[in-house]
Copies of this chain bind each other. A is one copy, B any other.
Amino acid sequence: MTASPDPAEPAAPEPARPDPALRLLWRHVVAEDEQPRRGPRQRLSVDDVVDAAIAMADAEGLAGVSMRGLAQRLGLAPMSLYTYVPGRNELVALMVDQVLARRELPPLPDGLRARLETVARVHHAEALAHPWLLDVTGIRPWLGPGAADRYEWQLSAVEGVGLDDVEMDQTVALLVGFASSIAHAEHEKRRAERESGQSELAWWEANAEELGRVMSGREYPLAGRVGQAAGEAYQAASDPARELEFGLARIVDGVLALLATRS
């Protein structure tokens, strides 16, 4: 018994065949090494499928994008989708990259503060327009042209300001992560209102008595005081728009402070 490869698998050294999802992601760039394919032409294009899926996700959330529902919307049988896309996960990756690719990236303003804010605000706006982006998991490490272009643009916002390469990456990650967390909070707030059919405030009123009864015997001096002040200021239990402004100001101040120590 040598260590030779399994004879059932022919001698081909299996040069780590590339992930098929990668070709799909970059389909518009690689494009046309197309020799005509056998069999019936596809009635639709991958873009048709992805666009329909994005529209469904915008309307119904990521969980609302089912292979069955999507197929019906496209006039296909469910299993026919699998000739366009290997599976649902890959479809989601394509949706994400399509969204990233479509957005026209605004020119970066002058001034580091404004540039950093722009990076965060663009991401925040995108996550608000497509809340399902925040629910996406499991598409790492698939990297498409939309994500690549976006990263390049984000880095250009912090190029030449005095950060080293690693710090540039970390700064972008910090801004994007923060914008995501704000959008996440906003999305959760909206979901709560939508699903309960009543506003947050109404729920608190309806349950204030029970909450008071139940919390008696515990002391929440700070939470009571701060919660009330925040509630009055927000007219809600939270106000993600204000959290964005507050947090962004602090983060940008922090980055500027780092650079200030160097000049």
Contact status A155-B223, CB under 8 Å:
yes
Contact status B151-A223, CB under 8 Å:
yes
Cα(A156)–Cα(B50), bound, Å? 48
- Chain A positions 185 through 226: 1 when the CB is less than 8 Å from some CB of chain B, otherwise 0: 100110110011000100111110111011101101111011
Contact status A19-B177, CB under 8 Å:
no
Q: Which residues of B contact A137 (CB under 8 A)?
A: 135, 188, 191
The segment from A3-11, A52-60, A70-78, A245-253 that touches chain B is A245-253
**Identical chains bound together, number:** 2
Q: Which residues of B contact A249 (CB under 8 A)?
A: 254, 258
Contact status A247-B148, CB under 8 Å:
no
Q: Which residues of B contact A152 (CB under 8 A)?
A: 220-223
Asked if A18 lies at the interface with its beta carbon under 8 angstroms from chain B, I say yes
Q: Which residues of B contact A145 (CB under 8 A)?
A: 215, 218
Cα(A22)–Cα(B180), bound, Å? 29
Cα(A152)–Cα(B223), bound, Å? 5
Closest to A144 in B: B214
Q: Which residues of B contact A143 (CB under 8 A)?
A: 211
- Can you name 30 A-B residue pairings with CB atoms under 8 Å? A16-B205, A19-B207, A22-B210, A23-B210, A29-B215, A135-B137, A137-B188, A138-B195, A140-B192, A143-B211, A149-B218, A152-B221, A156-B222, A159-B222, A165-B225, A165-B229, A166-B229, A166-B242, A168-B222, A169-B226, A169-B230, A170-B246, A173-B185, A177-B182, A177-B184, A249-B258, A250-B254, A252-B254, A253-B253, A257-B257
Could you list which residues of chain A lie within 8 angstroms of chain B, going by C-beta atoms? 16, 18-19, 22-23, 26, 29-30, 135, 137-138, 140-141, 143, 145, 148-149, 151-152, 155-156, 159, 164-171, 173-174, 177-178, 180-182, 184-185, 188-189, 191-192, 195-196, 200, 203-207, 209-211, 213-215, 217-218, 220-223, 225-227, 229-230, 233, 237-238, 242-243, 246-247, 249-255, 257-258
